[in-house]
Amino acid sequence: MSVFSGMNISSSALTAQRLRMDTVSANIANADSTRARINEDGEFEPYRRKIVNFQSDSPSFRDQFSKIKGDENKTVNGVKVASITEDDAPFVTVYNPNHPDADEAGYVQMPNVDPLQEMVDLMSATRSYEANVTAFNATKGMLMKALEIGK
């Protein structure tokens, strides 16, 4: 466990939250994209909402080893993004016969993005980001204070 591991923990969370914000941005940007990709049948498919999954960063081999050896071990490791998955929720169907992607009955499949949900997620990510900035500054302040010992 190095001196700066506290800062590394906080910065890992900053990276993760930043990626979450980016994903939310992508979701909102594509809230109306009916042609996100081409499926197996050669037809356009609407955009699917992306979800970021966090995971507590697993301890390294060295940490596990020293734990078994009985050495001092604290296993504080921060967070990482485990995966970005797609929301399986059904697409929203809207009646719009003039749309180029409308089917024979005049219905268009729109992305399963709920702007409200995205905004809540965005605010949550922002708050978490701020909390981690505070934690980072706390660690930094303590390290700077430690440099004053003996002055």
Partner 1 sequence: MTFFSRTFDSLQHGLDYAALNNKTIANNIANVDTANYKAREVEFKSILDNELKTNMEAKRTHEKHFNFNEGINQFNVTTNKGTSYNHNGNNVDIDKEMSNLATNQIYYNALIDRMNGQFNSLQSVIRGGS
User: Which distant-in-sequence residues (6+ apart) come within 8 Å of 37 by Cβ?
Assistant: 44, 45
The CB-of-135 to partner 1 minimum distance in angstroms stands at: 5
Q: What token pair was written down for 4?
A: 């700066």
Tell me: does residue 20 bind partner 1 (CB under 8 A).
yes
Which residue in the block uniquely carries the two structure tokens 């949550």? 124
The CB-of-16 to partner 1 minimum distance in angstroms stands at: 8
Q: What token pair was written down for 16?
A: 């993760």
Tell me: does residue 66 bind partner 1 (CB under 8 A).
no
Choose, by CB under 8 A, the member of 33, 66, 77, 126 that binds partner 1. Answer: 77
Query: 88-120 burial string, b = 16+ CB within 10 Å, else e?
Result: eeebeeeeeeeeeebeeeeebbbbbbbeeebee
Rounded Cα gap, residues 118 and 42, in angstroms: 30
Tell me: does residue 145 bind partner 1 (CB under 8 A).
yes
Rounded Cα gap, residues 142 and 132, in angstroms: 15
Phi, psi of 55 (to 5 degrees): -145, 135
Tell me: does residue 23 bind partner 1 (CB under 8 A).
no
Choose, by CB under 8 A, the member of 59, 75, 87, 99 that binds partner 1. Answer: 75
Choose, by CB under 8 A, the member of 23, 27, 34, 139 that binds partner 1. Answer: 139
Pick the closer one to partner 1 by CB: 27 or 139. Answer: 139
- Amino acid letter, residue 24: V
The CB-of-133 to partner 1 minimum distance in angstroms stands at: 10
Footprint on this chain of partner 1 (rule: CB under 8 A): 1, 5-6, 9-10, 12-13, 16-17, 20, 53-56, 72, 74-79, 124-125, 128, 131-132, 134-136, 138-139, 141-142, 145-146, 148-151
